[in-house]
Every structure is written in structure tokens, then in C-alpha cells.
Chain A
Amino acid sequence: NAGVTQTPKFQVLKTGQSMTLQCAQDMNHEYMSWYRQDPGMGLRLIHYSVGAGITDQGEVPNGYNVSRSTTEDFPLRLLSAAPSQTSVYFCASSTTWYDEQFFGPGTRLTVL
């Protein structure tokens, strides 16, 4: 099992550019989520999904979109990148939101 995979590992964008962060899991988990990690602020939830076709907003959803067309994949789209979106992004998956979450290796994003 590969577990949770994320691509790319690193990305540099210019303000206003758009891009998609990819996340996939092979554990047949229904629950998937995206977090951003900033110094001193812990892990903040961006969007989450309880199953294919179902997504909802987390704590900091502005500027991000998600979709869940399959159980395995949960991409995160940055619509128009801003310097405030410079962060490390983690995707996670679990059986439910009240079980152990398995995190991907993260994507370090810099917006200039």
C-alpha cells in the first residue's frame, strides 16, 4: 500500500496563478481532508469530504476549491494564488473523522 500520496512536493507560484494539488489514497477511506500548516498555528482544516460526491468547508476555505469524484482522489484547487496561501499543505484520509488520520507527505507551496 502506498498510503496517502501527494504531488507535487514543492511548488512556487506567482500571485494570480492557479494550480491543483493532488491527493490520492489506496486504503478505501471514506473521509478525506486538506489542512494547511503555518508556524504557530497548528493544522487548520481547509475542506473535507465524507465520501465520493460530498464535500464541505472547513475552517479556512476561502480561495480553495475541492471535488471528490472517486473514493481515492481528493484534489485541492487554488483559484488565484495569493502570498497569504504560502504554506505547507497536508492531505489526510481516515475511515471516519473520529478515527486515526493518515497524512500524506505534504506540499510546500510558495506564492510570490
Chain B
Amino acid sequence: GENVEQHPSTLSVQEGDSAVIKCTYSDSASNYFPWYKQELGKRPQLIIDIRSNVGEKKDQRIAVTLNKTAKHFSLHITETQPEDSAVYFCAATYSGGYQKVTFGTGTKLQVIP
């Protein structure tokens, strides 16, 4: 099955700086890669996703890049704000099979005002 590794497990940045979280996946067939944000005590919510037919996707201050050859994808947050503080999870799955979504172990991001 699929295996997803996520780094770093914790990340502290100054407000206004950028944050980058990286994930690697094991199965080259995987073609859907979502990112979820979970605020303290809340449920995970999708913030951005990318499919394997594109290499990059942006939504305001958030972007995701995908390198299919190296089997890794990254979340980029620019101009970080205190409200970006949360746990972020990457995930991977394959639309043609699996029927399961495999999550990374999460990154706790702290934005210091």
C-alpha cells in the first residue's frame, strides 16, 4: 500500500515569513494529493489539493508543488499570519484503485507574532 512521510513534525516561523512542509509518497500510481489544516480542537479541513496532471497550484498565500519523478509534494505558505498556526496534514491516494487515503503524520506550525 501507499506510505506517506511528512517533515518537519514541528515548525516555528516569525509572522510574515514563509513556511514549507514536505511530503514524500511511495507509490508512483498515486495521483491525488490533498492538504488539510486542523486547528486546535477542531476537525481537519481541506485547504488545497493537487492532481498529478499539474505541477503547481496556488490559492492566495498557499501553494502546493508536485514532483512526480521524485515522488514528493510540498505546501508553501507565504506571509504567514498567527491564524495559520495549526497542524497540517498531507495525504495521497490513487483514483484508479486503493479506495483509501493515506495521511502523513502531521506538521504543527507555530507562527510567532
Give chain A's interface residues, CB within 8 Å of chain B. 31, 33, 35, 40-45, 48, 50, 56, 58-59, 90, 96-101, 103-106
- A103–B49 Cα distance when bound, in Å, is 16
B-to-A contact residues, CB < 8 Å: 1, 6, 9, 31-32, 34, 36, 42-46, 49, 89, 91, 93-95, 98-106
* Contact of B43 with A44 in the complex, beta carbons under 8 Å: no
A97–B103 touching, CB < 8 Å: no
Closest A residue to B1 by CB, please name it: A59
Q: A42-B105, A90-B43, A100-B34 are in contact. List 8 more A-B contacts (CB 8 A).
A: A35-B103, A42-B103, A59-B1, A59-B100, A98-B31, A98-B93, A98-B94, A104-B43
Give chain B nearest CB distance to A37 CB in angstroms. 9
Q: Contact partner of B95 among A42, A98, A100, A105, CB < 8 A?
A: A98
